[in-house]
Amino acid sequence: MSRIGKKPVAVPQGVEASIDGKHITVKGPKGVLTMTAVDDVTVSLADSVFTVKPVGETKRARSMWSMQRTLISNLVEGVTAGYSKTLQLVGVGYRAAIQGKQVKLQLGFSHDVMYQIPDGIDIKCPDQTTVVISGIDKQKVGQVAAEIREWRKPEPYKGKGVKYADEYIFRKEGKKK
């Protein structure tokens, strides 16, 4: 049985939520998010509380139960507080700067990497080695952070590369003579 799926999702003050068939819409101070629930669960909204129930006892219905509840919770949290991820650039000469709707990354290549900022995402560079990605959609924020990190993943010997701020890089010992 799902422990997460059983928990109801409370809709806070100032947030409007509606269900139209399988389509769920949540409007809050930061924006509007929508999602479509799968056919294996039923979602109901009563007294500003979302509840999710599985349709049957199939394995897929039980696995979708918790996931759909978490996705609804992410919608509510996204329109109220939003999400952010912080990347750090570690290495000599590694820099980031915002140029219009692009992020200019200097990552040790012979050329600069220009990353186009997608709609719904806000990127800030408080200093040259820190990139803060924020938005209301948790999936989009994580995807943008992963795409920027993909250009130069941290390596285990010196720790150079683009890493998440809360990421621990397991360090290896170099060659011995």
Same domain, yes or no: 70 and 116: no
Question: Could you tell me the residue range of the domain that residue 119 belongs to?
Answer: 83-164
> Percent of the chain scored above 90 by pLDDT?
85
Give the tens place of pLDDT for each residue, 54-90. Answer: 998 889 988 899 999 999 999 999 999 999 999 999 9
Q: What is the pLDDT of residue 4?
A: 87
Same domain, yes or no: 64 and 124: no
Please say which residue of 59, 80, 101 terminates a domain: 80
Q: Is 176 contained in some domain?
A: no
Task: Give the β-pairing of 113-116 and 121-127.
Answer: unpaired
Q: Which residues pair with 122 in a beta bridge?
A: 134
**H runs (alpha helix) in 13-159:** 59-80, 138-150
Same domain, yes or no: 99 and 145: yes
Same domain, yes or no: 44 and 63: yes
Distance of alpha carbon 10 from alpha carbon 45, whole angstroms: 10
Q: What is the pLDDT of residue 1?
A: 58
> How many CA atoms are closer than 13 Å to the CA of 108, on its beta-carbon side?
12
Q: Which residues pair with 105 in a beta bridge?
A: 96, 113
| Average pLDDT of the segment spanning 132-141 | 96
Give Cβ neighbours of residue 166 (< 8 Å, ≥ 6 apart): 86
Q: For residue 9, which of 53, 63, 58 has the smallest C-alpha distance?
A: 53
If you average pLDDT over every residue of the chain, what do you get? Answer: 93
Q: Identify whether the C-beta of residue 133 lies closer than 8 Å to the C-beta of residue 85.
A: yes
**H runs (alpha helix) in 40-168:** 59-80, 138-150
